[in-house]
Homo-oligomer: A and B are copies of this chain.
Amino acid sequence: MTKVDLHIYIQFNNKPFINPQSLALLRKIIDTGSLNTAAKELDISYQNAWKMIDNMNKTAPKPIVMKQRGGTGGGGAVLSDYGLLLMKEYAYIELQVLKFTQQLNNEINL
């Protein structure tokens, strides 16, 4: 069956800082509280994961992920207040895009 699929990007001053891959990484960081564990679960290197986060933090209007020091398992990673707001808005965007895509697919005949 032929279907339209829409991929969500969020950009600041025309530069994307959220794409489907970085969004998956943010969700894993929320789940695990650790960039290291998040990277392992997504099967990417810690270095690549950190590059994605660093790029995201620098491109977004405000930093999204903050490193945390200490604790028994070493440093963790948490979302900033802006990061949490972003995830809330993203959930809304995702729902609207899902509804719109379903409607669009009902109109398409390919």
Contact = CB atoms under 8 A, between A and B. Distances in A.
Interface string A1-30: 111111111111100100000000000000
Interface stretch (A35-43, A44-52, A70-78, A96-104): A96-104
B11 A3 contact: yes
A66 interface: no
A93 B2 CA distance: 13
Given A85-B110, A86-B110, A104-B93, A2 B6 contact: no
Contacts of A5: 8-11, 16
Interface of A: 1-13, 16, 61, 85-86, 89, 92-93, 96-97, 100, 104, 107-110
